[in-house]
Homo-oligomer: A and B are copies of this chain.
Amino acid sequence: MGAVKTRRMPRAVREQQMLDAAVRIFGQRGYTAASMDDIAELAGVSKPLVYLYLNSKEDLFLAVIRREAAALTEAVRAGVRPDQPADRRLWHGLLAFFEHTARHPDAWSVLHLQARTHGEPFAGEAAAMRAAIVTFVTQLIAVAARDAHRDPDLPDHEVAGLAEALVGAAESLAAWANTADGIGARQAAGTLMNFAWAGLGSLMAGRRWSPPGE
């Protein structure tokens, strides 16, 4: 499983190899359980070289988070056609999200679990990525509401809550789709679209659920 031991590589290449190894080890073992020895061995280099290039375990973890966060947001962005209507954009975004997380489960573990569980500055970096996605979804919802001529009925904090809920649902379904056999990215995206778009439509049509008086 370890990389083939090839010597004397240019620095940039070696660095990517180290990050590749780090994603796998961090994603599978967790930040604290991962040892620099393990990562160096999987990368096919000695420990001092990892330190020479990445400085410290913290810096290495941060570099991993940043690289994978950029990769995920880029994948979503690349999947979305900006000239399409809001529902199509949401659909393609979800599809890209589920496909990327399914293809890179270790990276998703790092971003969704490890980074958020081990304090600053990691949690902040993961939160920043998540915030970008939430903002993206928030804008889609706002556009959809405008198209339905309904925005006066949806206050800002409600839109924010909806976006949070939608992103949380997507995160949950990502794990579900990766676990339950036979459920692919398309199906997960379909389920969520059905649920979400109908819910949004109803909301915008003014149909709201009222809590009991108690």
Contact = CB atoms under 8 A, between A and B. Distances in A.
Interface in A121-175: 157-158, 160-162, 164-173
A48 interface: no
A203 interface: yes
Nearest to A84: B212
A176 interface: yes
Of listed A116, A172, A203, A211, residue having the most chain B CB within 10 A: A172
B211 A192 contact: no
A183 interface: yes
Interface in A18-46: 29-33
Nearest to A208: B194
A165 B186 contact: no
Interface residues of A, number: 55
A6 interface: no
Given A161-B188, A172-B169, A172-B171, A203 B208 contact: no
Contacts of A195: 162, 165, 196, 199-200, 203
Contacts of A31: 32
Interface string A82-93: 000001100100
Contacts of A30: 32, 117-119
Contact of A199 (B118, B172, B196): B196
For this chain, the copies found in one complex come to 4
Interface of A: 29-33, 87-88, 91, 113-114, 116-119, 157-158, 160-162, 164-173, 176, 180, 183, 186-203, 207-209, 211-212
A168 B161 contact: no
Nearest to A116: B113
Contacts of A162: 191, 195
Contact of A114 (B117, B166, B183, B191): B117
A197 B185 CA distance: 24
Nearest to A154: B194
A146 to B, nearest CB: 18
